[in-house]
A and B are shown apart, each in its own frame.
Chain A
Amino acid sequence: MTDIQTTQSPQRYEVHCKQCSHKNTITFGYSSAGWVCTKCGNYHVNHNGLGWVSKHTFSNKPMPDILINQTAKLFDTTYTVVGFAKHKQIGKVYTWNEYILFNPEVGLRSLVESDGHWMLIEPISRENNIEYKQINRVAILDGIKFQMYNSYRSTVVEAAGEFAADILDDKEYKCTEWIAPPLMLIKEEFKDEEELWYMAREIKSSVIKKAFDILVMPAKIDIGAIQTMSFYQKASHLLYMLVAYVVLISFLYAFLNQNNIERKVFGQTFTKSATDTASVLVTPPFQVTGDPTSLQVDVYADVTNNWFDLDFELVNDVTFQRYEGAKSIEFYRGYDSEGYWSEGSKSDYIIISQVPAGTYHLNLYPLTNPSLNQVTYTIKVFEGVSITSNFVWLLFIGLLLPAIQLLRLYLFENKRWEATNFSRQISFYQT
């Protein structure tokens, strides 16, 4: 029995297991570095193109999510799955799954699943363009800053299919990863030989699920190394917008306040006595000139340890348009074991929005404690008053959205970096 036989087109190769003699079909023939028997899990390595040598026996467990020879279209390229390896970090319990994908035009790619997070890895030949800063562990490629995220050695604990390199030589590799989500720069150092560089990019699990028709996807655990946040916005962009908003609205507030002309249109002091039976008091008419404008009605009542309520109507003398309002004044004071105390105030004000120009009067309905002989109160009306609450509320609401996004990003990045022993070199707002 020969070690390899050519089969039908597209060209496939038949190989026989050294352990169980089972007939296997492989894609690359002697271009493969090794293959695993589908029946017994025996791993064979290429013996200088002269034959296959049994090297190891894997457990031959069923593959987790994707099968050998399954095809799928990713980023407009159709791939066939030719190999699978479950890796384990040496000295740690962490494992991840790697699927070897093949397309005749683009060659081999790796699809890696780690804790439910997926990425597609392809080799790059740009090592000469990679600027690496040892001091702060930052690698720069094409102007993108990648932060060192992980460095490890791994071994293969399960495998299926065929491989372009001997998977049991993994112990000899040192792998270093830099991230700039959704990208990852990977360097593999093999003894004293040249370094191999790869670029990985995140693939959403929904894309994998659809492409490979997987019913139940592996559950996502924590934040992936190059996972992007949903509704992601760059922190620097958020900060630009936040600062621009604060500056613009503050400038507008200062400008409008400086040019605002506040004018007193009415002011009068009244006295309500206990014998006064009239329930309504009608003020003389006054002119409102702004069109429209805000009116501020100031109420002052000279009450101590008592209360005063004022209901009023602002009535347009021509159109009879009315605005009803109410204000309650209460002021209490006294002495106790801790000394003087006071509560409430003798004055308050009320804002009436968007009052058209015209002649107006006020109908006043004062009420006070019937035990009071009399109470003196003053009503003043101003037009064109500045409404500070508009500025405060809009400033707060405007800040809320970017602030929430920044907080989300901060917590997301913190969670990402909790999974590694390396510290973040670039602050989250520079990402």
Chain B
Amino acid sequence: MKNFLNPLNIVMASLLLGMILLYSYASYTGWKIFNSDEVENVSESKGRTHHSGGGRSRFYHK
């Protein structure tokens, strides 16, 4: 481990440590970091409990 503490190693080790902390935070808060699911938080339009139904294109499915 001689001469380990050089700027590039410190930067890389910090990045890796940051990713471990990010993983811990995401796990404890139930955060899916790379969310490819079709979910949208629409909290800004409070009080709306109905919508007209999406996915119309699926009517033309196969």
Q: Which residues of A contact B (CB under 8 A)?
A: 231-234, 237-238, 240-241, 244-245, 248-249, 252-253, 256, 279-280, 282, 290, 292-295, 307, 309, 311, 313, 315, 319-328, 330, 350-355, 363, 365, 367, 369, 383-387, 389-391, 393-394, 397-398, 401-402, 405
Query: Once the chains bind, are B8 and A249 in contact (CB under 8 Å)?
Result: no
Query: Once the chains bind, are B19 and A355 in contact (CB under 8 Å)?
Result: no
If A231-B8, A309-B55 touch, whether A324 touches B34 (CB-CB below 8 Å) is: no
Q: Which residues of B contact A389 (CB under 8 A)?
A: 32-34
Query: Once the chains bind, are A252 and B30 in contact (CB under 8 Å)?
Result: no
If A387-B27, A402-B12 touch, whether A237 touches B46 (CB-CB below 8 Å) is: no
If A252-B23, A320-B49, A402-B12 touch, whether A325 touches B33 (CB-CB below 8 Å) is: no
Query: Once the chains bind, are A354 and B22 in contact (CB under 8 Å)?
Result: no
CA distance A252 to B27 in the complex (A): 10
- Min Cβ gap A350→B in Å is 5
If A231-B8, A233-B8, A384-B30 touch, whether A240 touches B1 (CB-CB below 8 Å) is: yes
Nearest first, the 10 closest Cβ-Cβ pairs linking A and B are A294-B30, A321-B43, A293-B30, A320-B46, A325-B39, A365-B53, A311-B54, A353-B32, A309-B58, A245-B16
If A241-B13, A390-B32 touch, whether A350 touches B37 (CB-CB below 8 Å) is: yes
Q: Which residues of B contact A365 (CB under 8 A)?
A: 51, 53-55
Q: Which residues of A contact B45 (CB under 8 A)?
A: 322
Q: How large is the interface on B (under 10, 10 to 19, 20 to 34, 35 or more residues)?
A: 35 or more
Secondary structure class of chain A's binding surface, majority of residues: mixed
Q: Which residues of B contact A353 (CB under 8 A)?
A: 30-32, 35, 39
- Min Cβ gap B43→A in Å is 4
Q: Which residues of B contact A (CB under 8 A)?
A: 1, 3-4, 6, 8-9, 12-13, 15-16, 19-20, 22-24, 26-27, 29-35, 37-43, 45-55, 58-59, 61-62
Q: Which residues of A contact B38 (CB under 8 A)?
A: 325-327, 350
Query: Once the chains bind, are B49 and A390 in contact (CB under 8 Å)?
Result: no
CA distance A295 to B29 in the complex (A): 11
Pick the contact of B30 from A248, A292, A405 — CB < 8 Å?
A292
CA distance A365 to B52 in the complex (A): 9
Q: Which residues of B contact A367 (CB under 8 A)?
A: 53, 55, 58-59
- Min Cβ gap A243→B in Å is 11
Q: Which residues of A contact B42 (CB under 8 A)?
A: 322-324
Q: Which residues of A contact B52 (CB under 8 A)?
A: 279
If A233-B9, A241-B12, A324-B42 touch, whether A393 touches B51 (CB-CB below 8 Å) is: no
Query: Once the chains bind, are A322 and B35 in contact (CB under 8 Å)?
Result: no
Query: Once the chains bind, are B58 and A387 in contact (CB under 8 Å)?
Result: no
Looking at B12, B45, B59, which has the most chain A CB atoms within 10 Å of its CB?
Answer: B12
